[in-house]
């Protein structure tokens, strides 16, 4: 939903201070630019404070657009950023996966006698999940935070080491579940889904060298495909953040315009 435009009208200054039309236009443009800059700063600050793993992508899709001398806009692009901003009903993530440029197609398989076993051509996508260490909850770039018990195991591992199912301590070895999602006027009912394994199965440690220091990262991979369980990869939906509207609400437009007008008049008069 678009936020109502802000109108800045300084024509009343023309007779009051004897300013010509060109000067009024110059001052109006200065005020419009200052207000937009303030709203963009407030919008970005809200995103940094309230978003987690999606923060970076959201902010990268915020941009200033000029529609004309006095038409200064801020736009939010991208599917996910706008879903965060406007909210979204429950949806099947697989619909997006199969359209991803990173999705691949299976290859036809034959037995030793040359008989076709599988025709191939089915889509699949390997999805990475970067897991943060304790204390990184809510930070950008992470899809979750590993428990201390698992981190105590992983931090002692060599780079490339994989956490097996049998090594996962209780209760983290128990597969998680997603509760059933009721139907809405625009979406169907989604039954409960139980993961096949623990979300920490296959957790891998990677070590990268940066100058004189090294940094460890941890992550897992999950495969989504045309053959995935229909109830897997269902998102329960997103609550609208409305950061744009809130950014406008906390921006003191009148004070910004008043300050710019005062500064401008002190310069030209």
Furthest-apart CA atoms within the chain: distance in Å: 95
Q: Which whole number is the average pLDDT over 70-94?
A: 95
pLDDT at 211 over 90: no
Q: Which residue did the predictor score with more confidence, 141 or 89?
A: 89
Q: Which residue did the predictor score with more confidence, 45 or 268?
A: 45
Q: Which residue did the predictor score with more confidence, 229 or 140?
A: 229
Spatial neighbors of 119 by CB under 8 A, at least 6 apart, are 108
Paired sense of beta strands 123-132 and 144-145, if any = parallel
- Sorted by where each begins, the domain ranges of the chain are 13-87+241-268, 91-235
Q: Which whole number is the average pLDDT over 143-167?
A: 92
Give the pLDDT score at 30: 94
Q: What percentage of the chain carries pLDDT values higher than 90?
A: 77
Give the H or E element holding residue 187.
Answer: none
The tokens describing 13, both together, are 């200054």
Give the pLDDT score at 1: 64
Rounded to whole angstroms, how far apart are CA atoms 203 and 199? 8
Rounded to whole angstroms, how far apart are CA atoms 124 and 225? 4
Q: What is the pTM of this model?
A: 0.81
Weakest-pLDDT range from 56-65, 146-155, 201-210: 201-210
The tokens describing 191, both together, are 């039954």
CB 74 within 8 A of CB 40: yes
Q: What percentage of the chain carries pLDDT values higher than 70?
A: 97
Reported as a single tens digit per residue, the pLDDT across 3-36 is: 899 999 999 998 888 889 999 999 999 999 999 9
Q: Which residue did the predictor score with more confidence, 260 or 2?
A: 260
- pLDDT bin (cut points 50, 70, 90) of residue 137 is low
- pLDDT bin (cut points 50, 70, 90) of residue 213 is confident
pLDDT at 212 over 90: no
Give the pLDDT score at 87: 95
Q: Which whole number is the average pLDDT over 64-87?
A: 94
pLDDT at 103 over 80: yes
Mean pLDDT of the chain: 92
- pLDDT bin (cut points 50, 70, 90) of residue 139 is low
Give the pLDDT score at 209: 79
Give the pLDDT score at 269: 67
CB 227 within 8 A of CB 106: no
- pLDDT bin (cut points 50, 70, 90) of residue 98 is very high
Give the pLDDT score at 196: 93
Which string of b and e fits 89-103 if b means at least 16 CB within 10 Å?
ebbbebebbeeeeeb
Spatial neighbors of 250 by CB under 8 A, at least 6 apart, are 42
């Amino acid at each position: 939903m678009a936020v109502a435009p802000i109108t800045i009208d300084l024509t009343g200054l023309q007779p009051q201070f004897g300013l010509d039309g060109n000067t009024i236009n110059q001052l109006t443009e200065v005020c419009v630019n200052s207000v937009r800059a303030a709203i963009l700063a407030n919008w970005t600050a809200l995103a940094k404070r309230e978003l987690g793993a999606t923060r970076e992508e959201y902010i990268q899709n915020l941009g200033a657009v000029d529609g004309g001398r006095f038409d200064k806009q801020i736009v939010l692009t991208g599917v996910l950023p706008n879903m965060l901003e406007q909210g979204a009903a429950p949806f099947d993530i697989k619909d997006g996966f199969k359209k991803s440029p990173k999705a691949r197609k299976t290859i036809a398989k034959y037995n030793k006698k040359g008989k076709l076993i599988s025709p191939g051509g089915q889509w699949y996508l390997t999805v990475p999940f970067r897991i943060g260490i304790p204390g990184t909850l809510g930070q950008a770039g992470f899809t979750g935070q590993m428990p201390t018990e698992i981190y105590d195991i992983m931090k002692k591992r060599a780079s490339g080491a994989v956490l097996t199912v049998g090594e996962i301590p209780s209760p983290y070895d128990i597969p998680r579940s997603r509760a059933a999602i009721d139907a809405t006027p625009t979406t169907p009912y989604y039954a409960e889904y139980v993961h096949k394994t623990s979300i920490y199965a296959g957790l891998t440690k990677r070590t990268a060298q940066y100058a004189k220091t090294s940094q460890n990262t941890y992550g897992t991979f999950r495969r989504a495909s045309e053959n995935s369980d229909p109830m897997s990869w269902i998102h329960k939906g997103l609550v609208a953040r409305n950061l744009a509207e809130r950014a406008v609400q906390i921006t003191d437009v009148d004070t910004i315009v008043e300050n710019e007008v005062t500064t401008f008049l002190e310069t030209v008069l």
